[in-house]
Amino acid sequence: MAQFIGAIDQGTTSTRFMIFDRGGVEIGRSQIEHRQILPAAGLVEHDAREIWENVRKTIDAALSGAGLVASDLAAIGIANQRETTVIWDRATGDPVAPAIVWQDTRTAPQLAGLDADLLRERTGLPPATYFSATKARWLLDTVTGLRERAERGEVLFGTMDSWLIWNLTGGLHLTDVTNASRTQLMNLATLDWDPVLLDIFAIPRAMLPEIRSSAEVYGTADGLGVPIAAAIGDQQAALFGQTCFEPGDAKCTYGTGNFVLLNTGTTPVRSTHGLLTTVAYRFGDQPPVFALEGSVAASGSAIQWLRDQLGILESASDSETLAGQVEDTAGVYFVPAFSGLFAPYWRPDARAAIVGLSRYHTAAHLTRAALEAICYQTRDVVVAMAQDSGTELDCLQVDGGVTANALCMQLQADILGVPVSRPAVAETTALGAAYAAGLAVGFWTSLDELRANRHEDRRWQPAWTESRRTEGTTRWRMAIDRTLDWA
């Protein structure tokens, strides 16, 4: 009997394949970065073919490194960067254009005239370049002849989960309810493509995938013989991997961006404070579970910018050492609004700014300001979440690559004023996809089994005084105001 579960974690900057045992312990992994294609300011693209090739390579490498073969896997689950949009040829399987990444802002002109109230009511999402609908429309309107081909069903649309399922299974065109809820084309009440929304965004239904649950056997991976048994958006996967199964449970994932999700149960909570109402997960024919989400566009990517564009850091991990050379930022605030501000502001006109500089300041101050920016942005979302839900956070469960930075996590506890808890398995996105796939095939039989797998690795307690926290958040809001009305 197969003793392990595999998980594809297809993220914004890299793809990894991870293997877990019944205790949720990592047995093997392989990870490959892919190119970030930046044709101009505000444009972010990926090569979908490169990503698919990396998926195949990481599966082979992780199995080989762990001394396993495909038959040792009971199933494979997929977690993926959401909203990133791919259109490909149904006959050849070739993408018709580069994938447009969720961070891309080229579709801002489409937002004018959209009915924000209608969109929020039907989708739980505000008008924003973030979501897939405007990206798909841009491709249909820009690539010669593509709209006509889409109407004839010759090309297919999907987010990364659909693209990977199609390639893994030899042509099944599917998506799950969590990813569909991020396209701005699915109705939250019906969990199906909405004809009114398709008409608003001029998207032919013939190109859309079938919407399925987050955990069920979709098909079998060609060449592996392993069931593909889950697909779930990366942030929802992390919520599940953190075992946030009850209403009021919340987590924050730190990656390219920051994503805070709060489980709100089987009833969607409509936000009035700039958050998103989204599907958290749905298993088989059970009722869907919903979440409130606050999405921050740039967190880990701010550290990457210091490394790649400014050359301040040789590696992202150097940020902790460099920032630790100073006790504070000496009044510097860095708002990394490279693609505008997401939750709770939703200001695509914002652009990044560093304020409070003097000749006294050093690379260490700027790096520490970048770490604080990650934490202030998270606090903005947590405050909005409490206002919408009426639930005050008593501990923030965290995961993702940035959580390896102990200074950043201490700053997060300081700025929030509540403890921060990191699990023993920090890569909860992959773990959540594995859990979903395992439940679908009976590898695990209950949520209680999964809860028993969670163990805390480290906890940070807040150390700032309330007056310091208040001063910092007040100055942060002043810095936010200085980023507006630029684009």
Per-residue confidence (pLDDT) for residue 95, from 0 to 100: 97
pLDDT computed for residue 103 by the predictor: 87
Round to the nearest angstrom and report the end-to-end CA distance of the chain.
57
Per-residue pLDDT tens for 422-438?
A: 998 878 999 999 999 99
Binding residues for sn-glycerol 3-phosphate: 12, 82-83, 130, 234
Q: What is the pLDDT, as a whole number, of residue 261?
A: 93
What pLDDT score does 87 carry? Answer: 98
Report the binding-site residues: 12-14, 16, 82-83, 130, 234-235, 256, 300, 304, 401, 405
Which positions make up the binding site for ATP? 12-14, 256, 300, 304, 401
Q: Which of 68, 3, 2 is nearest to 29 (CA)?
A: 68
The whole-number pLDDT of residue 38 equals: 92
pLDDT of residue 316: 85
Question: What per-residue confidence (pLDDT) applies to 484?
Answer: 95
Q: What is the pLDDT of residues 160-176, one digit of tens each?
A: 999 999 999 999 999 99
Residue 13, pLDDT score: 87
Q: What is the pLDDT of residue 335?
A: 96
pLDDT for the residue numbered 343: 86
Q: Which residues are annotated as a binding site for glycerol?
A: 82-83, 130, 234-235
pLDDT at 248: 85
- Cβ-based neighbours of 273, under 8 Å, separated by 6 or more: 344, 384, 385, 387, 388
Q: What is the pLDDT of residue 44?
A: 94
Element (H, E) at 323: helix 318-323
Residues of the chain with pLDDT under 70: none
Q: What is the predicted pLDDT for the residue at 258?
A: 87
Q: Which residues are annotated as a binding site for ADP?
A: 12, 16, 256, 300, 401, 405
